[in-house]
Amino acid sequence: MSPKRIPLSGFAKNAEPFSYLSAQINKISALALYRLQNFPLTANGITMTSLFFVGLAPMAIFFLKSKLVFILVLGISYGLDTADGIWARTKGEVSRWGGTLDQFTDYVKDYVVDVSIFFYYFLQFNLRGSPNVTYFLLFLSGYLIAKSLYYLASTGYTKEKRRRFTEKVKVIVYTPAEKYFIAWPLAILVPEFFGTFYVLALLGYVWGSLSLLLTTAKRG
């Protein structure tokens, strides 16, 4: 006897969108999971598959020389990133380990994509041997340090609390759907946007880190 099928509404109600765009992606993910619910899927397996697709992103731009494939694998990865949580909540697979794995892979994916985009322009502008390479590497290092400090400062905050904090201080860098479908594609397609976005992101991470630390200090 086959197990009772969960209705589409059962998957849809377990979506946790951060924005209008993420809500639309969640609808697609919920529909896909509804169709695939009898397959031997696991939430952690979906999480790792999402990480795998982001791992294809640098291959897309450095080996295939295809920005379109780069954008495509980012979109698939984000869809899977929303799907793992929906699946876990619907199927009763929520666990501390699963949450930790999901958060860790989110961080890894962010670093992989950011570094890939930076080094795409490093090669595109042929900065090897140029005096500008020092400024480029200093900016990349500063950005990664600021990003890491933000992640460290937000340790212990749930996704919901970080979302509310993001809305409060207007840190645009913690809007995953917009980052995957708007910011990163534009950064790889438009050189001028690349510079503007990452300068604003750097400032956003610095401001976010300081605000989180001040909030924690007041709370303590």
CB 105 within 8 A of CB 49: no
Overall average pLDDT of the 67-89 stretch = 95
What are the pLDDT digits (tens) for 121-156?
A: 988 887 776 778 888 889 999 999 999 988 887 776
CB 86 within 8 A of CB 11: yes
Torsional class of 92: left (φ above 0), alpha (ψ -120 to 50), beta (otherwise): left
Other C-beta atoms closer than 10 Å to the C-beta of 50 total 23
Among the listed residues 83, 106, 220, the one whose alpha carbon sits nearest the alpha carbon of residue 162: 106
What are the pLDDT digits (tens) for 160-175?
A: 566 655 555 555 555 7
Backbone φ and ψ of 64, nearest 5°: -85, -15
Work out whether the CA dihedral 57, 61, 62, 66 comes out positive or negative. positive
pLDDT for 216 beyond 90: no
Backbone φ and ψ of 158, nearest 5°: -75, 165
pLDDT at residue 1, as a whole number: 47
Q: Which domains does the chain have, with CATH numbers?
A: 8-219 (1.20.120.1760)
CB 149 within 8 A of CB 205: yes
pLDDT for 29 beyond 50: yes
pTM of the model: 0.88
